[in-house]
Structure 1
Amino acid sequence: MTQTDRHLTLDAIRGFAVMGILLLNIVGFSMPDAGYVNPAAWGGTDPLNAGVWAVNFVLFDGKMRGLFSVLFGASMLLVMQRAEASGQNPRSVHLNRMAWLFVIGAAHFILLWWGDILVPYAICGTLALLFVSKDVKQLLRWAIIFYVLYFLITLVMVGGGWWQAIQAAAPGADPDLIKGTQEMLASFGQPGTEEIAESLKTYRSGWLTIVQHHLAIFPGSLASTLIFFTLDTLAMMLLGMAMLKSGFILGLWQPALYRKIALRAFAIGLPPMIALAVWVMLSGFDTVITFGAFFSFSFPFRVVMTVGWAAALLWLAVTYRDHALIARVAAAGRAAFSNYLGTSLLMTFIFYGWGLGLFGQIDRATAMLFVLATWGIMLTWSQPWLERYRFGPAEWLWRSLARRKLQPMRLR
C-alpha cells in the first residue's frame, strides 16, 4: 500500500502517538515497575526529576496510550472497510488479525517486556467488533458508559485501599491486615519494598531468567488486564471509531475547528491535572495519594486531554501537511507496529542484564535522553524504508500471518 492509498493525518497522529508513548514506557524499561507509578519508589524526587515526572503526568501520562487506542479503533474500521471492498468477510479478517495480534503480543510480553499493550488491544479489538455497525452518537454513548464504569471501579479500588491503609495504621490493628496492607501498598508503588529489590535482581539477570519471570507473571497480568484495562481501552477504541465515521480523525474538518476543540480540551483538562500533580508532590509522593492520582482521579481529565491531543495534532498535520517533518512523522506512524516492537528490543538491550545492563542505574531526567535518541532513530529509518517497501517489517509479518500468505514487500 502506497502513501497515496492512505490518510496522511491518521499516519501522522499515529507517528506522534508511538513516539509519545515512549515518554512513559521508558520508566518501565529502565527502572523497577514501582517507579512507573511513584517516582519516590524509583527515579528521583529532586526538583529536576520531580519536574520531569510532573510534566509527563500532566501532559502525556495516559493521554498517549489513549491516543494510540483511539487510532487503533479508527484503523480497525478502515481495515474492515477495505476487506469488504475487496470481497472478503470483514469480520473474519478482523478476528484473524486480532488472534495473531494476541500471539505476537504474548510473545512480546514473554520474550521482551512486561509492559506489552498488544494483548489488551487484541482483546479489546475483538470486543469492539460488537459495535462496528453503531452510528457516531451510539458509539459515543457506549464510550461514555464504559468511561463511567471504569472511573467508578477505580474510585472503589482506590477508596478501599485508602480505608484499608487507615485501618492498618490504627493501634492494635490485626497482623494479617497489616501484612495485607503492606502487600497492597507494594503493588501501589511503595518505596523500599522487597518487590523493588526483586525487580532489580531479575532484570539485571540473563535473558532466560527474565523469560521465566515473564512466563510466571503472564497469567496474572492477563487477568489484571481484563479487570482493570478493558473498559477504558475499549471506550477509547469506540471513540476512535466515532472519530473515523464523523471524518474528524481523517482531517476532513476545518483547521480552525480542530484548533478550537484542542484549546477548549486543554483549558478543561490542564488545571485539574496540574492541581493533582501539585497535591501529589506536596504529599511527599504518599503511596496511596500518588496511586489514586495516577490510576483514578486523573482519569476524566485524561480522556478530555486525549481528545485535545488528537485535535491539536490533527490541526498540525492539516495545517503543515506538506512539511518534511510531518512526512517523517507520518512514515513513523505507518511503521508504528515496527517502531513499537523495535523500541522494546532496543530498550531491553540497553537496560536488561542480557544487554548493556543499565537497569535501575539512571534517573527520570536521564531517561529522557534515551527517548530523544530513539525518536531520532524512528524518524531516520521509517521514511527511507517505506520509500522502498510497502510495509514496516512487523506490519509485513502481521499482515502475512493474518492473511495466511506472504505479502509482497518491495514497491515496484
Structure 2
Amino acid sequence: MSGQDRNHTIDIIRGVAVMGIVLMNIIAFSMPQAAYLNPIAWGGEGLADQLVWMAGFVLVDGKLRGLFSLLFGASLLMLIERTEMAGGDGRQRHIIRCCWLALIGLAHYLLLWWGDILSLYAVVGLIALAFVGKQPLELVKLSFLAFALQFLILIAVMVGLYQATGAATAPGADPQAIAYTARMLDGIGQPGSALITADVALHRGGWEGIVADKAAHLPGWWLSGLHYTGLEILGFMLMGMAMLKGGFLVGLWPRAQYLATARHCFLIGLPPMIAMALWAWGSGFATVTTFGISFAWSLPFRLPLTIGLAALIFALIAGREDSAALARIGAVGRMALTNYLATSLVLTAIFYGWGLGLFGTMSRAQVYLVVPLVWAAMLFWSRPWLRRFRYGPAEWVWRSLTLFAPQPMRIAAPKTGR
C-alpha cells in the first residue's frame, strides 16, 4: 500500500471516529452532565432510553475517544518525521502546534461547549513527545503502565465514595457525614438533585450566563479532566505510536490478521462490558453502582475494544479505500477539527437557550434522531470543500498559526491550453 493510500486509510478511520463520537456527545449537548453517566438522571425513564444507554456504554463510550487518541499519537510521529525529512525541527513544530491547539480548545470550551477535549490532547501530546524515540514494545509497556496508573487513581476515588456512603448509612451516622455524602451523590448523577436542576436552568438561559459559568469553573474543569483522563489519553497515544511503528496503522498487516486481532480484542472486552451494563440495569441504575461502572470499572476494557474497533475498520475497508462512500468518510477525517468544532456550534445552537432552546426536552432515544442529520451534514460538505481547498477552515487556521504565516488555501485550477 503506497504512502498516499495509507494516509487515506488513516483519514477514513479518523472520519469514522469524528462521526462516531457524536453518538456519545449528543447526550452531553442535549441533557445535564449527569445524564452522560446515568440514564435515569435525566431523559432515560423508558426501556428504549435505557437500552440505548447500555448499547452506547458497551460499544461507544470511551472507544471513539480512544480511537482519536490512537490517531493523535500516530499523527504526532508522522508530523515529526515529515518535518525532519524536509529539514525542519519536528519536535519544535509539534510543541508549537500543541500550544495553539490548547488555545483553540480553551476557546471552544469557553465559547461553545464544556466537553472540549482539544486542550487535554494538547497538554498530553506535549508529554507524549518524550516517548517518540521508544521502540514499539517499549511503547506498549508504557501504555499499559499509563492505563494501570489511571485505573489506580479511579479506584482510589471509588474507595473514598464507598467509604463515604458506608459512613452515611451506618446506624447513628454523623449528620455532617450524611450531608457530605448527599453532596457527593448529587455530583455523580443522583436523580432529582439540585445540581441537575441548576444545570438545566443554566443551559436553557442565555449565552453570556453559560460562558460566565464555564469561566468560573475553568481551573477545576481542566484539572479534573487531566487527573481523571490524562493518563488514559497518554496510554492511547503511546499505543498509537506503537501501532504506527509496528505497521498496524499504515495498513501493512494482512486482512486476516486484522480480523483475528479484532476477534481477540472483542472477546477480551465485550463480555465484561456487557456484564457491567446488565449489572447497572439490574441495580435499577443505582447512582453509586452506575457511576462506578461508567467512571472506573470499564476503563481496563476500553483499550482492547478500541484496538479491536480499529482492526475491524482496517479489515472492512481493505481494498475499498477509493470507493465513493469511503472517500466521503475520508474527507470528514481530513477535516476532523473543523467537523468537531462545527458539531459543537450546530448542536449548541439546537439545544442551548441562545438557540432553539431544546435542552432537556427530549428523551435519550429521541435525541439520537439528530445524529444521522449531523453525519449527513459532515458527509455532504467535507468532500466538495476539499475539492476546492487544501484544508478545512479550522485546519487552515491551525496550520497557519503553527507556521506563523498564512498557508495557501485554494487549490489552483488546472491550466488549460488555448
> Normalising TM by the smaller chain, what interval?
over 0.9
Alignment pair present for 1:80 and 2:80: yes
Q: Distance in 1 between matches of 2:241 and 2:367?
A: 34
CA distance in 1, matches of 2:4, 2:256: 25
Q: CA deviation at 1:276?
A: 0.3
| C-alpha deviation, 1:274, in angstroms | 0.6
Aligned ranges 1:3-402 → 2 under 5 Å:
4=4, 7-402=7-402
Structure 2: tracts of 5 or more residues without a match: 413-418
CA shift at 1:6, angstroms? Answer: 6.5
Amino acid aligned to 1:151: F
One-letter code aligned to 1:377: A
Structure-1 separation of matches of 2:112 and 2:376:
22
Deviation at 1:199, TM superposition (A): 0.6
Question: Structure 1 unaligned runs (5+)?
Answer: none
Asked if the contact 2:34/2:41 (under 8 Å) is kept, the reply is yes
Cα offset for 1:282? Answer: 0.6
Which amino acid in 2 is paired with 1:347? L
Q: Decide which moves more: 148-157 or 90-99.
A: 148-157
TM-score, length basis structure 2: 0.96
SS of the residue corresponding to residue 369 of structure 1 reads coil
- Alpha-carbon shift at residue 322 of structure 1 (Å): 2.6
Task: Report if the CA contact (8 A) 1:14-1:71 is conserved.
Answer: yes
Deviates more, 1:160-169 or 1:193-202: 160-169
Q: Tell me, yes or no, if the aligned pair for 1:255 and 1:319 is still in contact at 8 Å.
A: no
Q: For 2:317 and 2:86, how far apart are their aligned partners in 1?
A: 29
**Counterpart position of 1:410:** 410
> Relative to structure 2, which stretch is displaced further, 134-143 or 320-329?
320-329
Moved more, 318-327 or 385-394: 318-327
Contact 1:17 1:68 in 2 (8 A): yes
Across the aligned residues of Structure 1 and Structure 2, the Cα RMSD in angstroms comes to 1.2
Q: Secondary structure at the match of 1:328?
A: helix
Q: Aligned with 1:387: secondary structure?
A: helix
Checking the alignment, whether the CA contact within 8 Å between 2:100 and 2:402 is kept in structure 1 is yes
C-alpha deviation, 1:34, in angstroms: 0.5
1:272, distance to aligned residue in structure 2 (A)? 0.8
State the alpha-carbon separation in 1 of the partners of residues 178 and 236 from structure 2.
38
Counterpart-to-counterpart distance in 2, 1:200 and 1:306: 32
- Superposed displacement of residue 159, structure 1: 2.2
1:146-187 alpha-carbon deviations (Å, 9 max, x no partner):
111111211121122122112111122112211211111122
1:111 CA drift (Å): 0.4
Distance 2:179 2:128 in 1: 40
Three-state SS of the structure 1 residue aligned to 2:40 is coil
Distance in structure 2 (CA, Å) of the matches to 1:100 and 1:6: 27
Distance 1:219 1:53 in 2: 30
| Per-residue deviation, 1:91 | 1.1
SS in 1 for 2:369: helix
Kept in 2: contact 1:269–1:305 (CA 8 A): yes
Mapped contact 2:135–2:242 kept (Cα < 8 A): yes
Structure 2 counterpart SS, 1:375: helix
CA distance in 2, matches of 1:44, 1:203: 19
Deviation at 1:229, TM superposition (A): 1.1
For 1:90 and 1:5, the matched residues in 2 are separated by 23
Give distance in 2, aligned partners of 1:323 and 1:304: 29
Residue aligned with 2:79, SS = helix
Give the C-alpha shift of residue 300 in structure 1: 1.2
- 2:232, 2:45 → 1: CA distance? 29
Deviation of the 1:5 alpha carbon? 8.1
Cα–Cα, structure 1 residues 161 and 154, in superposed 2: closer, same or farther, change >3 Å?
A: same
Shift of 1:29: 0.2
CA distance in 1, matches of 2:172, 2:229: 37
